[in-house]
Structure 1
């Protein structure tokens, strides 16, 4: 399904990649279904490829919602940095100040190190059974608490002893940040994201579902492998991800959010600059924000997310003139990353 370019601003500057080329790139994404929105100098293209549901012919809905996985981390990080801007916390405050006794060595692990994954805390995800392990399928409707997840993680030794010395991606960091947000504000991280980001930016397709198992509105179905078949895992309790990945969104909303963030509408310039600073030398992950260089050497900022049955990607040039958001329902065990990267290159580089 192809939707043509539409004007998103009164004055569009510069050439746009032909719609047919973008559709060709989206059709090349390895997935059951895929949707994308590309913004290019004031013009917008939206398209879809594949089907919304296995065994059916209905096309993947162009404006459909999906689980955005770790793109949630950028939303959480933005709230934390807004609290820093308000003087309610500092990036170099120790975890122990807010959550005494919750994590080992909390007096030496800072908020900054949680944000940039240099804390050394063991990843909660590694304590879970993944498909095709039988226990995994019991997670579908189970409710988890952050305290339970963090306790499972810290029952394991840290990945390295000196916080700040290395990068090690850990979902536990953002579970802890979610608890810190609640400690500082008296509201859950989901409520703060809704209040500070979703409502002001009018992200009408975006939500923090908490323990609600359904994806509201039009959406693709997502699947995980089981017994040589694909199990429909569209409905699931997103408390499994918590602050590290529960976000539901659309490609339109993700582009709007990253446009506002990188455009300086959500954070003071100094904190946005710190968000783009890697935690380790030559790193590509800052304070909840990642980046990479495209085939044409243009750097793009954003994040990607794996939500088991969904994968999402959202990247923007630093000046926000070009943006790409893509969501797929992967046909596991095939990995769509390389084919999505090719689409991002095509959209950014032309």
Structure 2
């Protein structure tokens, strides 16, 4: 996750990916629309889409740029996007639900649920499930390696390859740990740790992880436009914008040139760490349900929001249990996550008053700092 020619602009107040239960608002914040347009101004970030839900449940959806640089079609309002590491919030909630039910404790060792499975090999020999707890995986203090060893040359060579979750884990276990589990004041963002959490949830619940998330979260709160892609599914449901990458040289380094369409690829390498797809308004509904106590108990939500320092993230961000605490420039503290999948960057958060913002851009490699600044502005706005 990063510390983070335009053909036309659109703005509508009704989601095209499905009917909204929230009331939509016909007026919109002109400053936010202008800010969204600025993000797509040089064409390297072809399209932006955003859904804003105010504290009263009224929804305004924004778009800017183009949804397809070839056809110059408009960005679909509230279209489907890859939400990448925002998936981690769903994975964390599934684990916390199991804790609420007494089926696991956050300070249990991984070994209790996956005996003999988490044993490092080669450079990763020090990794041992007997010394790693569920809580450490949730807040990235487990020491699990931060890289994704199965894609050393990026997404393009493996975009059509399916990866089994155990295959991803085994590759991670061959990598040296970042630090000793729970080492004081040490933190390292680890997709591999969340892949492992998915296996824990699956073992405890006795069902495939996709089913755990679907039944316990998506169906429970009526998210009609959120899903965990089935094995082998490389598509994104319609309507959706196209996602793009910068071109590469022979060393896999970004270079100037025509953008590469990477909309279609197999996301299985991300699994419980970043595989899910949703519309911005549906992600906001998830944030509201979580904050209102419809997914986990209030005490558990408070525990989810107990944070640790997160070196490498923005200075005003700290990490909890699958959620990021963001201190905004307006003095408000919001909670949410973000994610970068090839072709899409997403940011989402909710304020204590219930203002939820989810935005997505269709190139994950450009303007990350500008997107974060705009995200802050959108959360702080009053309209």
Paired residues of 1:178 and 1:188 also in contact (CA < 8 A)? no
Match of 2:12 among 3, 9, 15: 3
Match of 1:276 in 2: 305
Q: In the TM superposition, what are the counterparts of 1:131-210 in structure 2 within 5 Å?
A: 131=154, 136-165=155-184, 166-210=186-230
Match of 2:319 in 1: 285
- Per-residue deviation, residues 238-283 of structure 1 (Å, max 9, x unmatched): 1021110000000110000001101221111111001001145997
Question: In 2, distance between residues paired with 1:291 and 1:200?
Answer: 25
User: Which deviates further from its counterpart, 194-203 or 119-128?
Assistant: 119-128
Unpaired stretches in structure 2, ≥5 consecutive residues:
1-9, 119-126, 249-256, 311-315
Match of 2:344 in 1: 310
Match of 1:41 in 2: 55
Unpaired stretches in structure 1, ≥5 consecutive residues:
none
Paired residues of 2:274 and 2:341 also in contact (CA < 8 A)? yes
Paired residues of 2:317 and 2:327 also in contact (CA < 8 A)? no
State whether structure 2 residue 108 is matched by structure 1 residue 93: yes
- Per-residue deviation, residues 264-313 of structure 1 (Å, max 9, x unmatched): 21111111001001145997110001021111111111000111111111
Return the TM-score normalized by structure 2. 0.83
State whether structure 2 residue 331 is matched by structure 1 residue 328: no
Paired residues of 1:326 and 1:340 also in contact (CA < 8 A)? no
Match of 1:234 in 2: 263
Q: Secondary structure at the match of 2:68?
A: coil
Question: In 2, distance between residues paired with 1:217 and 1:113?
Answer: 37
Match of 1:221 in 2: 242
Q: Secondary structure at the match of 2:49?
A: strand
Match of 2:33 in 1: 23
CA RMSD in angstroms, aligned pairs only: 2.4
Question: In 2, distance between residues paired with 1:279 and 1:40?
Answer: 29
Q: Secondary structure at the match of 1:327?
A: strand
Match of 1:247 in 2: 276
Task: State the shift of 1:174 in Å.
Answer: 0.6
Question: In 2, distance between residues paired with 1:342 and 1:333?
Answer: 16
Question: In 1, distance between residues paired with 2:27 and 2:372?
Answer: 16
Match of 1:59 in 2: 74
Task: State the shift of 1:208 in Å.
Answer: 0.2
Task: State the shift of 1:114 in Å.
Answer: 0.4
Match of 1:111 among 130, 134, 140: 134
Paired residues of 2:138 and 2:194 also in contact (CA < 8 A)? yes
Return the TM-score normalized by structure 1. 0.90
Task: State the shift of 1:205 in Å.
Answer: 1.1
Question: In 1, distance between residues paired with 2:161 and 2:266?
Answer: 6
Paired residues of 1:36 and 1:46 also in contact (CA < 8 A)? yes
